[in-house]
Each structure stands twice: as structure tokens, then as C-alpha cells.
Amino acid sequence: MLKISNQGDDMKKTDHLKNAGLKSTLPRIKVLSLFESAEQRHMSAEDIYKLLLSTGDDVGLATVYRILTQFEQAGLLVRHFFEGGKSVFELNQGKHHDHIVCLQCGQVEEFYDQAIEERQEKAATERGFSIRDHSLYIYADCNKENCPHR
């Protein structure tokens, strides 16, 4: 039961998990660490699974799925349904925002528009609906140099 390295860092995550009502386990700490250190904020279960494999931090695929759902329910992660059929997750930093997804390179950019939010609320209440949630995805070409198309 050697404790190897960064106890301090894992301690912080342990507390983070405990606060969320989840017991601190190795797989959960690994997934949480990945989200905090990964270059891309938005990742699918498969992304997580493969990244963990690549660093030798093996976690079963079923466990990855379970943890993602638990983290979502605990409010640690937010789930998105981009086109393509698979769920994508990101760390919940508390601020709601919408997304622009490049159809060529998959790059995701975040934005927030107060006017859009207000008009949505208006559209719903005008029709007698009470908004629970909403999702706005803009699919586009990013036109960046490193982007495959153009």
C-alpha cells in the first residue's frame, strides 16, 4: 500500500469528491484529474477511456461510464449531446454557456449571449412553458489555419 507521489493533490480531489457525496476511489480521482489537466475541456467516455489507457492509468470502460454519470448527477460535470450520437462532458465551472463546434476539426468554442438567454426565456413563457434546460449548438467551419478544411 505504498503511497507513491502527490498526496497533496490527491487529497484535494478526495475532498472534492467527498463534498460531492462520492467516496474517494482511485478511478474517480483519475477521471477527475484528467478533466482538470486535459488540453480539451469537452470529452466523451471513449476519449476518457483511451486517455487513461495511454497513461497506464487503466480504468474499465464500464466504470468510466458510471463515473461520468455520477459526476454529472453530483454537479461536477455537465453533459452535452452534440451531433454524432455520443455524450460529451466538461467540468462544471458554474457558468452556463453555449457551444460552437467546428464540423471540420471538432474544435469546440464556448460563448455566452445574454440576449439569447433572455429571448429563450421569453419564447418559453410566452407559450406558457417553464424552462428546465436548453441546449444551443452552432455547427460551423472554424476557418483556422490548422483546420483541415481550407
Asked if residues 17 and 31 have their Cβ atoms less than 8 Å apart, the reply is: no
| 24 near DNA, judged by CB under 7 A | yes
Closest separation in Å from C-beta 111 to a copy of itself = 5
Asked if residues 75 and 20 have their Cβ atoms less than 8 Å apart, the reply is: yes
| 109 near Mn ion, judged by CB under 5 A | no
Asked if residues 68 and 86 have their Cβ atoms less than 8 Å apart, the reply is: no
| 44 near DNA, judged by CB under 7 A | yes
Q: Which of DNA, Zn ion, Mn ion, none does residue 33 bind (CB under 5 to 8 Å by kind)?
A: none
* Closest by Cα among 71, 7, 86, 75 to 34: 71
**Residues 9, 15, 109, 110: which binds Mn ion (CB under 5 A)?**
110
Q: List residues near a copy of itself by CB under 8 A.
A: 81, 83, 85, 98, 100, 102-103, 109, 111, 113, 115-116, 119-120, 122-124, 127-144
**How far is the first Cα of the chain from the last one, in angstroms, to the nearest whole number?**
53
Nearer to DNA by Cβ, of 27 and 107: the residue is: 27
Coil, helix or strand at residue 78: strand
Asked if residues 88 and 48 have their Cβ atoms less than 8 Å apart, the reply is: no
| 15 near DNA, judged by CB under 7 A | no
**Dihedral sign for Cα atoms in the order 137, 143, 147, 150:** positive
Contacting positions for Zn ion (CB under 5 A): 102, 104-105, 107, 142, 147
Contacting positions for Mn ion (CB under 5 A): 90, 110
Contacting positions for DNA (CB under 7 A): 14, 18, 22-28, 44-46, 58-63, 65-67, 69, 85-87
